[in-house]
Amino acid sequence: MSDPTADTKPALSNNFLRSIIERDLALAGQPERHFAGTPGDAAHHAAGPLDAARIRTRFPPEPNGYLHIGHAKSICLNFGLARDYAGICHLRFDDTNPEKEEQEYVDAIQEMVAWLGWDWNAGGTSHLFFASNYFDFMYRAAEYLVTAGLAYVDEQTPEEMRFSRGDFGRPGVDSPFRSRSPADNLLRLQEMRDGKHADGAMVLRAKIDMAAPNINLRDPALYRIRRATHHNTGDTWCIYPMYTFAHPIEDALERITHSLCTLEFEDQRPFYDWLLGHLADGGLLAHPLPKQYEFGRLNLTYVVTSKRKLRQLVDEGHVDGWDDPRLPTLVGMRRRGYTPASIRNMVEATGVTKSNAWLDYSVLDGCLRADLEGKAARACAVLDPLKLKLTNWAELFGSDAHIETSSAPAHPQLPELGQREFGLGHEVWIEAGDFMEVPVKGYHRLYPGNKTRLKYGYVIECTGCEKDASGNITAVLASVVPDTKSGTPGADAVKVKSAITWVSVHEAIEAEVRLYDRLFTVEQPDSGDGDFLSFINPQSRRVITAFLEPSLAQVAAGDNFQFERHGYFVADRIDHQTDRPVFNKITGLKDGWSK
């Protein structure tokens, strides 16, 4: 099978994670890493062969929302590094929290990872995993820590616990329950598991150091009591592991080598190593253990990416759903017309750093143009239509009903895509901006007495315009200059300084075209104190009626095109129909239309 991501070139220079991986792969004297083919504990993997994958990474989404551009960064990093270093990337649903997770998100996340071009199947096996399948092991790990004197059940109230944890300036204070015997704690933990205590009545905590300068090491919670039906395990459990406990274990059971996460987890790394180290000492997990590395988050300017805020925009109707083309969700970006390659290339181009980055849509748009310039079929569209009447048509061709056939390459560099054919009749739609009754300096398009070329058609000379009673221009008048048809001998004898795009009235396809602008009026709508909703751009979407050339009559939803002079457009995935075409503008052309 061909690799759909092969066109995404690794940017070797700006990726410190590559240096780390290369260093690790070159290290001598490493313990051998066995992998039994499925996730499991030390004994399970010890019985398996040496891991054929040189590295293992994972993308670990929580199935509680739709993926956004920031997740795309993590996806492309994890899958891209695995691809580049003969490794395997797992898609793991971090579904340890029973409250907010739904099948709808599980499905949508898989669809988007695959859409981006990545595959969690490698060597004929699926590497799609669910953390909730590890609940048994996690509980066993908890019992082990208790038995080893490394964890205890704390019955303080949440308020007491919060207070006794201290803060940056104040060391924590030991819980009165901290010195219970392992046997006592084990009994309590088993009672927690068996539903003998109310939700929130007690938690299991690691026993590390209440005075540690790193607050994450002040006896972090490992398990809580929560009676909730889990989408996978149903009512089997009434206790659920905390994320900080569950995540390192998930990595270790899956034999992840490089666990990449965003910077806010940096302070969790000591606990990650503490936990896995102790579980390995106890023989539950196998060496070598996974290592966590942090990279900067990716944020996009003029939008929000927090799941909570995205949900608010959707739920309150500020946008038209999770796939609204103005949202930075991957479903929204796909609908807008961004291609998987443009997103992958953006991630490569921006690299990975140790600080959170703010990306402008212009970077993404540059990557989109780079991808589509060489691929997207060309077409003519008139977005702001004004009628042009060719007044000497009947005189030249015998009748106003006469149609001249024009053609143009579907793509100037891809002759294999063939030619587009379209007719030129006595009335055509042109852009309103291509006519000026009184031209400004440097204007070379239509104005009385000036000549221009109807692209792929004839040179015409403007003779004036028609107006309605209130003086609005209703049509432009011009005459065809004979013997100037593009592609015929001598066509260039008459020199003109411009060429304009057009669509003939007799065969123009009427279409709805949706033009998008920034969703918010400020770069970082959720950074200040103010309500981010107050920064919504009321003009973020404009819907117009445009006329398209006939080659666009039979396109599939999701197909993208370059509308000559205007930019890149996509047939809307949801609303486009052959008898009711709907296109979204993705982005403009790099250097617009000059003169």
Q: Which is nearer to ligand ATP, 303 or 503 (CB)?
A: 303
> 271 and 244 in contact (C-beta within 8 Å)?
yes
Q: Which is nearer to ligand ATP, 95 or 219 (CB)?
A: 95
The residue type at 403: I
Nearer to ligand ATP, 62 or 209 (CB): 62
Taking the C-alpha atoms of residue 274 and residue 151, their distance in angstroms, rounded to an integer, is: 12
Q: Which residues contact 63 (CB under 8 A, 6 or more apart)?
A: 93, 94, 95, 101, 102, 103, 105, 106, 109
Q: At its nearest, how many Å lie between ligand ATP and the CB of residue 246?
A: 12
User: Can you give the binding site for ligand ATP, defined by CB under 6 A?
Assistant: 60-62, 70-71, 73-74, 261-262, 297-299, 305-307
Q: Cβ 220 to ligand ATP, closest distance in Å? A: 18
Q: How far apart are CA 162 and CA 112, in angstroms?
A: 39
Residue 72: CB minimum distance to ligand ATP, A:
8
Smaller CB separation from ligand ATP, 249 or 571: 249
Token pair 């051998």: residue = 32
- 33 flagged as catalytic: no
Annotated catalytic residue within 297, 309, 375, 455: 297
Tokens of 137: 């092991």
- Distance in Å, CB of 306 to ligand ATP, minimum: 5
Catalytic (active site) residue 62: yes
CB of 23 to ligand ATP, least distance (A): 22
**Cβ distance to ligand ATP smaller for residue 310 or 476:** 310
The residue (of 55 and 570) whose beta carbon lies closer to ligand ATP is 55
Q: How far is CA 432 from the centre of its chain?
A: 36
- Residue 92 annotated in active site: no
User: Of 62, 155, 266, 512, which residue is the catalytic one?
Assistant: 62
d(CA 313, CA 321): 8
Strand order in the sheet with 221-225: 151-154, 203-206, 221-225, 239-241
Query: Which residue has the CB atom at the shortest distance from ligand ATP?
Result: 70
Quick one: which of 334, 313, 312 has its CA closest to 323? 334
**CB distance 465 to 449 below 8 Å:** no
Across 206-232, b (16+ Cβ under 10 Å) vs e yields bbbebebeeebbbbbbbbbbeeeebbb
Give every CB contact of residue 375 below 8 A, 6+ residues apart in sequence. 411, 414
Residue 14 token pair: 């700006």
Strand-pair partners of 423? 405
SS3 352: strand
CB of 527 to ligand ATP, least distance (A): 14
CB of 357 to ligand ATP, least distance (A): 9
Q: Cα dihedral angle (303, 371, 3, 258), rounded to 10 degrees?
A: -40
Pick 112 or 368: Cβ nearer ligand ATP: 112
- For 59, phi then psi, to 5°, come to -110, 115
Nearer to ligand ATP, 262 or 498 (CB): 262
Rounded to the nearest whole angstrom, what is the least distance from the CB of residue 530 to ligand ATP in the complex? Answer: 20
402-406 own/partner pairs: CB under 8 Å, 24+ apart: 402/426, 403/504, 403/506, 404/457, 404/458, 404/485, 406/456, 406/457, 406/485, 406/486
Catalytic site residue from 56, 269, 307, 369: 307
User: So which residues are the catalytic ones?
Assistant: 62, 297, 307
